[in-house]
Amino acid sequence: MKSILPKWFHGAIGALFLLLNTAFWGLIILGLGIVKWCLRVRLLSVLLHWAYHKWCVGNRIGLKLGGVSMHVKMPQAISVNGWYLLVSNHISWLDIVVLSAQSQLPAPKFFLKDELKYVPLIGTGAWALDMPFMKRASKAQIAKNPKLKRMDVERTKQSCKNFKHHPTTVINFAEGTRFTAQKQRRQASPFDNLLKPKAGGTAFALDVLSEQVDGLLNTALVYHSEDLHICRAFVLGRLDAVSLQVDYIPMSELPLGDYQGDKAYRVQFQAYMNTLWQQKSAQIARLEQRPEGEADNVPSEVNSL
């Protein structure tokens, strides 16, 4: 049924709801995280993930209130009880909301820079949920002390051990930054609608998580809006739809190795990522023409948004 209310009203309500949803659950997660840090009680970890799940549910409701129609194509093999590494193109800050709102995916987690630990709600919430903060050694530091080469991996593996207790989707934006036409031209990217993938970050994630995840979720994300500024389009009610296509690649089909120490593997993995990006570019071109998958306009615990 078509709403009689103006689009800008839906956008404003949706944006306000997402803001309040993040503030409300973010403060609860921070509070529970401080108590867990003091008491070290396992039940508090369960409560933290319950609150985080409610934040994800709120994101689904907020997108619906904003008048956004979702079109999702996701393999049935994906389970809410699984562990995955999700690699997606990066367009907007709204990407995190859209991906976290997918009820078919287990709880989304992120690799974060160590400096983000002190950002209110975002960094503090990630800290409370035991998301890994990376403090990577520079090339100059590694040149002086080669032992630091594997220290990043071992340190992050240690911080990822808690993933074993809760089904998780680790999200990696392999382009390293949000896509813009200016960045694409500056990079001389060979892809029509993507920046070049940073193979090292994805290889690092696979190295760290190889014993924990079931496979890789290669994801193409498209926003249907005439306004290229996606967050502004959502707030003003101009974001009509979002398309999401997810392909599942089991771990047995992924090339694994030492990206930093093995030059042959590094070349192989870079070629593999470029092939994935060529496929993703073609998928995005198709999705931009027409949304694929079934639209879901019901903010349900069962259906994917």
What string of DSSP letters covers 218-287?
EEEEEEE-S-S-HHHHHHTT---EEEEEEEEEEGGGS--S-TTT-HHHHHHHHHHHHHHHHHHHHHHHHH
Number of domains in the chain: 1
**pLDDT of residue 138 exceeding 70:** no
CATH of the domain at 105: 3.40.1130
Q: Determine, yes or no, domain membership for 303.
A: no
Q: Determine, yes or no, domain membership for 7.
A: no
Rounded to 5 degrees, φ, ψ at 195 are -85, 170
Q: Determine, yes or no, domain membership for 24.
A: no
pLDDT at 43: 85
Return the SS3 of 16.
helix
Q: Determine, yes or no, domain membership for 240.
A: yes
- Indicate the pTM of the whole model: 0.86
Which tens digit of pLDDT belongs to each residue from 236-259?
A: 999 999 999 999 999 999 999 988
Q: What is the DSSP string of 85-132?
A: EEEE----THHHHHHHT-TTSPEEEE-EEGGGGGSTTHHHHHHHTTPP
Q: In the Cβ-directed half-sphere of 251, how many Cα atoms lie within 13 Å?
A: 16
Mean pLDDT, the chain, whole residue set: 86
Task: Give the mean pLDDT of 65-70.
Answer: 94
Of 54 and 258, which is predicted with more confidence? 54
**pLDDT of residue 295 exceeding 50:** yes
Q: In the Cβ-directed half-sphere of 57, how many Cα atoms lie within 13 Å?
A: 11
Return the SS3 of 135.
coil
Q: Determine, yes or no, domain membership for 54.
A: no
Neighbour-count burial of 294, counting CB atoms closer than 10 A to its CB (0-12 exposed, 13-18 middle, 19+ buried): exposed
Q: In the Cβ-directed half-sphere of 122, how many Cα atoms lie within 13 Å?
A: 12
Q: Tell me which residue of 166, 273, 256, 148 sits closest to 211, measured CA to CA.
A: 256
Calculate the CA 223 to chain-centre distance: 16
Radius of gyration over every alpha carbon of the chain, rounded to an integer in angstroms = 20
pLDDT at 135: 67
Kindly indicate the confidence band of residue 292, based on its pLDDT and cuts at 50, 70 and 90.
Answer: low
The amino acid occupying position 266 is R
Provide CB contacts within 8 A for 76, sequence distance 6+: none
* Cross-strand bridge partners of residue 173: 88
Kindly indicate the confidence band of residue 117, based on its pLDDT and cuts at 50, 70 and 90.
Answer: confident
Provide the residue range defining the domain that includes 202: 69-294
Q: Determine, yes or no, domain membership for 6.
A: no
Measured distance CA(157)–CA(140) in Å, rounded: 23
Of 80 and 120, which is predicted with more confidence? 80
The amino acid occupying position 152 is D
The CA distances from residue 26 to 54, 146, 215, in Å, are 11, 39, 29
Q: Determine, yes or no, domain membership for 60.
A: no
Measured distance CA(232)–CA(239) in Å, rounded: 9
Cα 68–Cα 72–Cα 78 angle in degrees, nearest 5: 140
Q: Determine, yes or no, domain membership for 17.
A: no
